[in-house]
Chain A
């Protein structure tokens, strides 16, 4: 196309009568060329958009992974549901958006048309319209999905954590995984030789030699 525009034809010679404006003809030729190329043009455009949307989605996903709360465990129940719903919504929207963008860039599978010249022309015009529709829908869905993800991040940042270390009856218990089974109790002492826990209502202290201890995990109750 560019060479078409760039080439100054032999028409620089002055014609009889009207002044020759060769650019007018070049653009007319370019227009005719675009009529044949427009589906490819739209597909390339859609490909660019698809890549851009995918990049954007990935970026926000990374932010979510890096900056979001590690789990929803500490959140009050209602907010936990809100976050989960937002994430599910975001997933659905982003999935639909990605599929729409892929559809726009690559066409619908299984669409056929009679390949006569006229049908092909209207088929191409139809497909151009459908591609642009699919692309703009995909764009909206992706933006909505990204907003949902960002809202989920915001919720996870702003909602206060339920105070996990609540004093009182539910003391800080530990689960001690030993070679001889799992013991549970309140942690009394941990030194290089052994882990000491109190079991059965602080009445008995159990000393577990460090050689037997496989792991120690905090627990809310035994």
Chain B
């Protein structure tokens, strides 16, 4: 496991290292994704969650029961939330990481998994 690298805070788009791919897992009820991996810049594992939110259109008319939203496709833009202090981070910044961000492709849902 790599140690944390105390880089200066800088908002920049980083490249994901091919040897350290990110895992994208969908929750059991299908309503959020968890992206886990090592920040390409500050080299520490970071977790990013994306939930299904309010801007989505209502999908059913009268049926009852928990809706599982349609699976996410494409990329999830992820930014570093390593939690370590990084120099030069502006105090008003909502960031909790080194400022790096990158795209993580969502793996296609395997057949037989949650719809």
Contacts and interface: CB of A to CB of B under 8 A. Distances in A.
A128 B54 contact: yes
A21 B13 contact: yes
B11 to A, nearest CB: 3
Contacts of B74: none
Contacts of B93: 9
B12 interface: yes
B52 interface: yes
Interface of A: 4, 9-11, 13, 15-22, 24-25, 27-29, 31, 33-35, 38, 41-42, 45, 121-122, 125, 128-129, 132, 136
A28 B101 contact: yes
Given A11-B11, A122-B31, A33 B51 contact: no
A34 B54 contact: yes
B15 A28 contact: no
Contact of A129 (B10, B12, B67, B99): B67
Contacts of B78: 28
Interface of B: 10-15, 29, 31-32, 49-55, 58, 66-67, 77-79, 88, 90, 93-95, 99, 101
A125 B94 contact: no
A18 B79 contact: no
B99 A11 contact: yes
Contacts of A25: 11, 13, 77, 79, 101
A146 B27 CA distance: 42
B94 A13 contact: no
Contact of A41 (B11, B31, B54, B79): B54
B54 A9 contact: no
A18 B101 CA distance: 11
A42 B54 CA distance: 7
A19 B13 contact: yes
A95 to B, nearest CB: 21
In the A-B complex, the 4 residue pairs with the closest CB atoms? A11-B11, A15-B12, A9-B11, A28-B77
26 contacts: A9-B90, A9-B99, A10-B90, A11-B10, A11-B11, A11-B12, A13-B12, A15-B12, A15-B13, A15-B14, A17-B14, A17-B15, A19-B13, A20-B13, A24-B77, A25-B11, A25-B79, A27-B77, A28-B77, A28-B79, A28-B101, A34-B53, A34-B55, A35-B50, A122-B31, A125-B52
Given A42-B54, A129-B67, A15 B49 contact: no
A18 B14 contact: yes
Contacts of B95: 29
Contact of B12 (A20, A38, A41): A20
Contacts of B90: 9-10
Nearest to B99: A11
B67 to A, nearest CB: 7
A132 B61 CA distance: 12
Nearest to B78: A28
A179 to B, nearest CB: 67
A35 B94 contact: no
